[in-house]
Homo-oligomer: A and B are copies of this chain.
Amino acid sequence: MNLEETRKQAASVITSADLLKHWQGHRSLTRRVIEAFPEKELFEFTVAGMRPFAAMAQELLAITAPGIRQVAGHGTEELNEQLDQAGSKASILTLWDEATAEIDRYWAQIPDERFHERIVAFGQYEGTVWSTILYFIDNEIHHRGQGYVYLRSLGMEPPYFWER
């Protein structure tokens, strides 16, 4: 039995269903962070010359649906952060909800054994399927944490981190 087979036979510490719920829980919180921004500040406010939170949300959107399609084995797509139809808070939230449905839809197509296969997401990010998904989640938490600083800088209270 080679290493890969040993890994596949190891008992589960996080199941596919756990990981999906974990991701969607984080996405639900990020949605509320997007919602918390006033319209103008979502697109214009920055700290230290960093991107406005709308640009970070667009990065997350650029990753999510194309990312889950690749994870599910539907070929490679290029990363495109220039999204049409993301010019208002309402439209970003609509795209967010569409991506939520896409995740649920494609997740159902991922067999458990697929999580340990290697992929090159967006033609450039090498990893296993599980590590790629965790990277998507981690990247979202990272930028959302930055969004919390923006909200605080605007004198606003961000949603509780532990509410998913």
Contact = CB atoms under 8 A, between A and B. Distances in A.
A138 B139 contact: no
B141 A142 contact: yes
Contact of A16 (B10, B50, B153): B10
Copies in the complex: 2
A16 to B, nearest CB: 5
A17 to B, nearest CB: 8
Nearest to A11: B112
Chain A interface bracket (under 10, 10 to 19, 20 to 34, 35 or more): 35 or more
Nearest to A19: B13
A108 interface: no
A146 interface: yes
Interface of A: 7-19, 22, 26, 47-50, 112-113, 115-116, 130-131, 134-135, 138-139, 141-146, 148-149, 152-153, 155, 161-162
Instruction: Rank and list the top 6 A-B pairs by shortest CB-CB distance, nearest first.
Output: A145-B145, A11-B112, A13-B115, A48-B152, A14-B14, A142-B145
